[in-house]
Amino acid sequence: MKQTSLTLAITLSLFALPGFAAAQESQPSAPAKTATDQGNDKVLGSVEVSAKLDRARNQLSPSIGASQYVMDAAAIDRLPLGDSTPVNQILLQAPGVVQDSYGQLHVRGDHANLQYRINGVILPESISGFGQSLDPDIIEKVQLLTGALPAQYGYRTAGVVEITTESGAHRHHDQDGSGGDGNFGGKASLNVGSQGTINPQLSLHGSGERWSWFLTGEYLKNDLGIENPTPARNAIHDRTHQTRGFGYVSYLFNENLRASFMFGQSNSRFQIPNNPGQTPSFDLAGATPPDSATLDQRQREITRFGILSLQGGFGATDYQIAVGQRYTSVDYRPDTVGDLIFNGVAGTIHRGNRANTLQADFSTPLASGKHTLRYGIYASSERPTSSNNALVFPADADGNQTSTTPFTIVDTAPRVNARTYGVYLQDEWSITDKFTLNYGLRADKVNAYVQESQTSPRIGFVYQMAHGTTLHAGYARYFTPPPTELISPTDIALFQGTTNQVPTNVNTNVKSERSNYYDIGVAQKVGTSWTFGLDVFDREVRNLLDEGQFGTALVYTPFNYEHGRVRGAEFSVNYAGKDLNAYFNLSSSRAKGRNIITNQFNFGQDELDYVATHWVHLDHDQRLSGSGGISYNWHGTTFGADFLYGSGLRRGYVNSEHLPEYWQLNLSVARNFNLPMIGKINTRLAVINATDQSYQLRDGSGIGVGAPQWSQRAGAYLVLSKAF
């Protein structure tokens, strides 16, 4: 391994929620019981068959050499908002995850680069920067995999979010003894509180002799859809309406074969919050400059997906084959008069993307279980669309307005068919009962706005030492194509001589990122309740991918630094007892880039010149980040608290400064009550940002940073839920 000066980050978890573990030991997979290995099994019911096939499916996804953090449904339920907690807020409880505006997450110094999988199937990415398209109520278990990932994980590699869903065959089965053939039930909940929040949720599940199903839906309305651009308690013009739904249906052909269909949708409407007191910059014929507090900019985001999978076995081999389709779009509607007067451009912007995918994964045990051979393919075809119908003013070479009468520019990107192909082969070798090695190779090719390919070796191991000590390490060569759904080719010549002309006229197509990733960690169990862990990582990057918001619409655009380096470490301690469970994390990293080489027209020439010869912090670089929480059950009443800490994201010219550090404390209390005519109902009271800290996530300055954003002020919420 190349010797580097790593910045040590300490993630000290003194407490841990039940079911939530910083499982950095990356335990090797248990020997696979194949779909056709019947042994002494008798004819099984749908619950047992589904559980058996679930175990076989888990054998398709190893984590040897990687770091993994696991949270189950019980742990999510102990968060202040329980399963009303957005997915991004759940992931913030893992070390190395940094919060940003619009619900964005940064894992180990990456801008986004997260891959979501549901039951082992890759979910194609959506355009949305801040809409949450997944309902937490679907989650039975969520794992965040980071570090040097095995060969089957490609494309988005900063973190892999593996979601195991509930299913009608065994939902609530372990909790209340229900389940089995003919099982039917569900849960209804209502979350109401500050900022006009109304959030009803409903989930239903059932199973029969061969069928099982699970459906969930929710609606959310509040007055803080996007972060407030001012520190005021209440944002101006910030209402959101969101609907989300998810469904899972499976059919058992026999004990060895199951077909499943997953589908979901999200439809989110946002008002863009206003920043009062802004000074008009342009004149519009016949119009009086409006108050910037009265503007009416809006954005709508839609995501829909469906995935059909077939899981089973032949001989000793387990497999899962899935085909799917996803459609995602973002539409921005300007305040025409206001945008022209304050920004000099009023653009009606549309971005859309339809993706068709094929994924096949196989697992074959060899040599009496000493080796497990895993192999598979992935292919996708995407059809991105992009248009910008913009009203602009004529301008001179310096950008000064030369007329008060606007005219229209139509900038529509040419249609492309973006294709991605990948294949992998890897071997999990159980050298001894304590030492497991996983090594493999994957090959990827992208044919989109540019044509690129790479062959990527991977290797990782887990060594279980004496006295509860587990060591893991790995190396991965990564190939990360730019997100096709975010690329919007722009004809910059159309806007020259207007008030929307770009700072420079260089426009190179975005390239795929290529990196070498090194990761090493150790975990130590003490007794039955304590787990300590330390993990350090180093990533050397060529064509480092970053994203920025350029313009009024809240959509991100990717660009490349020629070189990048990301280094850091995480140290964790977790405690899980009978009634007391808690965690605390503190992480550190450094992420830098040099020389912007693509989409240069979005940057001023002075920025490009400086970054060409200097290493600069990435805008999402945060030196220290932390999270922690505690949950205590006292005679049936559960008291909980968690917090977030950050030393501040970057700001200023070429990201040379950082914002002040911040803390956010959340509190909750929950208890079940038996009510006449209703029965058992769970009641939860949560206070978010209990100390009413007013801190800034962004101040509008820095490379690729849009408007300022402030944190949510203190808010109280009441959550009522009833299982049936």
Sequence spans of domains, the chain: 21-723
Query: For residue 476, what is the DSSP state?
Result: E
Rounded Cα gap, residues 405 and 408, in angstroms: 10
pLDDT for the residue 168: 65
Lowest mean pLDDT among 43-47, 297-301, 355-359, 461-465: 43-47
pLDDT at residue 686 tops 80: yes
State how far the alpha carbon of 268 is from the alpha carbons of 104, 114, 157, 219, 415, in Å. 16, 21, 27, 10, 26
What is the fold of 21-723?
A: Maltoporin; Chain A (2.40.170)
Rounded Cα gap, residues 537 and 518, in angstroms: 6
pLDDT for the residue 52: 66
Question: Per-residue pLDDT averaged across 638-649, rounded?
Answer: 95
pLDDT for the residue 124: 84
CB 303 within 8 A of CB 133: yes
Nearest Cα residue to 59 out of 311, 427, 363, 314: 363
Handedness of CA 174, 176, 178, 184 (dihedral sign): negative
More confident site: 166 or 483: 483
Question: Per-residue pLDDT averaged across 105-124, rounded?
Answer: 90
Percent of the chain with pLDDT over 70: 89
Q: Give residue-wise pLDDT tens across range 13-59.
A: 333 333 444 444 444 443 333 333 333 333 345 556 666 667 666 66
pLDDT at residue 142 tops 70: yes
Nearest Cα residue to 566 out of 95, 241, 158, 46: 158
Question: Per-residue pLDDT averaged across 656-672, rounded?
Answer: 95
User: Which amino acid, 247?
Assistant: G
Rounded Cα gap, residues 692 and 158, in angstroms: 32
pLDDT for the residue 177: 38
Question: Per-residue pLDDT averaged across 229-243, rounded?
Answer: 95
Q: Give residue-wise pLDDT tens across range 239-279.
A: 999 999 999 999 999 888 999 999 999 999 999 999 999 99
Could you identify the residue written with the tokens 């950008």? 399
Question: Which tokens in the block code for residue 284?
Answer: 């519009």
pLDDT for the residue 555: 80
Nearest Cα residue to 9 out of 535, 473, 522: 535
Nearest Cα residue to 420 out of 450, 443, 444, 401: 444
565: left (phi over 0), alpha (psi -120 to 50) or beta: beta
Rounded Cα gap, residues 703 and 204, in angstroms: 46
pLDDT at residue 84 tops 90: no
pLDDT for the residue 132: 62
More confident site: 399 or 234: 234
pLDDT for the residue 474: 95
Give the end-to-end CA distance of the chain in Å, rounded to a whole number. Answer: 56
Question: Which tokens in the block code for residue 583?
Answer: 């965690």
User: Which amino acid, 325?
Assistant: Q
pLDDT for the residue 631: 95
Nearest Cα residue to 360 out of 403, 330, 323, 397: 323
Question: Per-residue pLDDT averaged across 693-701, rounded?
Answer: 93
pLDDT for the residue 524: 92
CB 303 within 8 A of CB 268: no
pLDDT for the residue 202: 95
Question: Which tokens in the block code for residue 508?
Answer: 């190179």
Question: Per-residue pLDDT averaged across 707-719, rounded?
Answer: 94
pLDDT for the residue 171: 52
In 3-state terms, the chain is what percent helix, strand and coil (to 5)?
A: 10, 55, 35
State how far the alpha carbon of 463 is from the alpha carbons of 30, 68, 433, 530, in Å. 14, 15, 9, 19
96: left (phi over 0), alpha (psi -120 to 50) or beta: left
Question: Per-residue pLDDT averaged across 499-521, rounded?
Answer: 90
pLDDT at residue 148 tops 60: yes
